[in-house]
């Protein structure tokens, strides 16, 4: 059960997901112990370096400009602001900073140059640097790698079938293409999804098929529970039950034994006991900090108290892979190409997205 396989089927994954919970926990914990130190958990800090005003229509996201939410938009942060936040995160126990910008895709130009400088700056602080900037081309991935990027996040969100019920402004194949572009570099891949968006158990299994059949499998897989934000198309979704989260984490652990499985959004509504069961089931990474982009998250000091109570230790940076080198901008081997890739725009109608867009505030 603990070998790395790239041929998981939906039926096999469903069989695992639906096992009696105690058996599922035991199997997942067994796989976890074979591949990881069960008392070590990686701590990442997510920084929203450019908030709101996004042209995409992701049904779960308060940053989509078309929905009427209370999000305050911000222009791109400065390198100095990012450095100050990274230092604060480091002193609070984080080994990784993940910078998120509410963009559809990266465009070559001064803003991307700034992001590259942020990557250089944080890598020099000896922290792992991750970016989540939307779709990127191979050349952009190479420029990020050269700056010292450790990981690129690009979530598949859900199954290919259900994706069409969530987003109409881009296709699943764009996500896979971006992951492929990242794979042409030494940057590790972070890709996961969200549960609680109205998807079926089959869709959850479908997403795990899509992730686990990637070769290599993503080095980290965030599992988010939907935070239903007022004004978004998913504002009325029922909260995810803790058992569903535990099942999802455990199944992810079994089908991707080497991956760091990250407990991401939705932790504020989970008890410490619930989170402890997720760690037992194979979660070995969390997002720390009082905000996850725009939604609330437990305070880092509360997390450290929980770690203390559970006997968990934060993972040191570069435990799984060596620190990348940073090449300074003036020595770069890659030029901005000003590409205009044809990312898809299916544009089909998603009734709940349309209704949220029409609603007045
Ligand atoms: S999830 Fe990302 S791409 Fe989608 S609307 Fe939000 S910020 Fe934009």
Q: pLDDT by residue (tens digit) across 46-97? A: 999 999 999 999 999 999 999 988 888 889 999 999 999 999 999 888 999 9
Catalytic annotation, pick one of 54, 131, 253, 267: 54
Q: Which CATH number fits domain 10-317: 2.30.22.10, 3.20.20.70, 3.50.50.60, 1.20.1250.20?
A: 3.20.20.70
- Collect all residues with Cβ–Cβ distance below 8 Å to 346 and sequence separation of at least 6: 164, 168, 169, 170, 171
- How many angstroms separate the alpha carbon of residue 316 from the centre of ligand 1? 30
DSSP 246-267: HHHHHHHHHHSTTSEEEE-TTG
C-alpha dihedral sign at 122, 191, 259, 276: positive
**Which atom of ligand 1 is closest in space to residue 102's alpha carbon?**
7
Which ligand 1 atom is the nearest neighbour of the CA of 62? 6
Tokens for 347, please give them: 């544009």
Would you state the torsion angle of the CA atoms of residues 106, 216, 40, 273, taken in this order, to the nearest 10 degrees? 80
CA dist., res. 152 & res. 164, Å (int): 23
Ligand 1 binding pocket (C-beta < 6 A) is: 54, 56, 58, 61, 63-64, 102, 134
Protein residue whose Cα sits closest to atom 7 of ligand 1: 102
Measured distance CA(119)–CA(146) in Å, rounded: 10
Is 262 part of the annotated catalytic residue set?
yes
Asked if pLDDT for residue 360 goes beyond 60, the answer is no
What integer is the mean pLDDT of 223-242? 94
The pLDDT of residue 82 is: 95
Q: Measured from the CA of 64, which atom of ligand 1 is nearest? A: 5
CA 167–ligand 1 middle distance (angstroms):
10
Model confidence pLDDT, tens digit, residues 144-168: 999 999 999 999 999 999 999 999 9
State the closest ligand 1 atom to the C-alpha of 101, by its place in the atom list counted from 1: 7
Residue of 120, 143, 204, 262 marked active site: 262
The answer to whether the Cα torsion of 190, 177, 66, 202 is positive or negative is: negative
pLDDT of residue 292: 60
pLDDT at residue 338 in the model: 86
- Dist. CA 101 → ligand 1 center (Å): 9
Phi, psi of 222 (to 5 degrees): -75, 135
Please write the tens of the pLDDT for every residue from 122-131: 999 999 999 9
DSSP string, 194-263: EE-SS--HHHHHHHHHHHHTSSSPPSEEEEEE----TTSTTTTPPPPPHHHHHHHHHHHHHHSTTSEEEE
Q: What is the pLDDT of residue 72?
A: 83
pTM of the model: 0.95
Give the residue, 159 or 291, on which the prediction is more confident.
159
Nearest to 263 by CA among 223, 299, 292: 223
103 C-alpha to ligand 1 centroid (Å): 7
The residue extents of the domains of the chain are 10-317
pLDDT value for 293: 64
Tens digit of pLDDT for each residue in 310-348? Answer: 999 999 999 999 999 999 999 999 999 988 888 999 989
Tokens of 217: 């499998």
pLDDT tens, residue by residue, 187-220: 999 999 999 999 999 999 999 999 999 999 999 9
**Based on the number of CB atoms within 10 Å of its own CB, is 66 exposed (0-12), middle (13-18) or buried (19 or more)?**
middle
Residue whose CA is closest, atom 2 of ligand 1? 102
Task: Give yes or no for residue 349 having a pLDDT over 70.
Answer: yes
What is the share, in percent, of the chain residues with pLDDT greater than 70?
97
131 is catalytic: no
pLDDT of the residue at 341: 87
Nearest CA to ligand 1 atom 5: 64
Mean pLDDT of 284-303: 76
Helices assigned H by DSSP within 256-331: 272-280, 300-310
Percent of the chain with pLDDT strictly greater than 90? 85
């Amino acid at each position: 059960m603990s070998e790395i396989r790239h041929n998981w089927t939906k039926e096999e994954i469903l069989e695992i997901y639906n096992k009696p919970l105690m058996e599922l926990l035991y199997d997942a914990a067994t796989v976890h112990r074979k591949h990881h130190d069960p008392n070590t958990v990686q701590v990442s800090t997510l920084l929203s370096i450019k908030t709101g005003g996004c042209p995409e229509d992701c049904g779960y996201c308060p940053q989509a400009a078309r929905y009427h939410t209370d999000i305050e938009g911000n222009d791109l942060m400065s390198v100095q602001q990012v450095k100050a936040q990274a230092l604060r995160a480091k002193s609070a126990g984080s080994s990784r900073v993940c910078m998120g910008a509410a963009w559809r895709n990266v465009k070559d130009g001064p803003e991307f140059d700034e992001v590259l400088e942020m990557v250089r700056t944080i890598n020099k602080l000896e922290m792992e640097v991750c970016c989540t900037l939307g779709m990127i081309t191979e050349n952009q991935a190479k420029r990020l790698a050269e700056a010292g990027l450790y990981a690129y996040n690009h979530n598949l969100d859900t199954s290919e079938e259900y994706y069409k019920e969530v987003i109409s402004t881009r296709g699943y194949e764009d996500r896979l293409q971006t992951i492929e572009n990242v794979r042409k570099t030494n940057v590790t891949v972070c890709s996961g999804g969200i549960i609680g968006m109205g998807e079926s158990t089959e869709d959850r299994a479908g997403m795990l098929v899509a992730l686990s059949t990637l070769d290599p499998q993503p080095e980290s897989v965030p599992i988010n529970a939907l935070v239903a934000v007022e004004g978004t198309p998913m504002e009325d979704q029922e909260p995810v039950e803790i058992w569903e989260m535990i099942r999802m984490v455990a199944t992810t652990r079994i089908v991707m034994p080497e991956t760091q499985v990250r407990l991401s959004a939705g932790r504020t509504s989970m008890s410490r006991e619930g989170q402890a069961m997720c760690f037992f089931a194979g979660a070995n990474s969390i997002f720390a900090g009082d905000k996850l982009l725009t939604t609330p998250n437990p305070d880092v000091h509360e997390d450290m108290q929980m770690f203390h109570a559970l006997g968990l230790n934060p993972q040191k940076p570069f435990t799984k892979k060596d620190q990348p080198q940073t090449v300074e901008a003036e020595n770069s081997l890659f030029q901005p190409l000003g590409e205009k890739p044809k990312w898809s725009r299916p544009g089909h109608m998603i009734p709940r997205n349309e209704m949220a867009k029409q609603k007045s505030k």
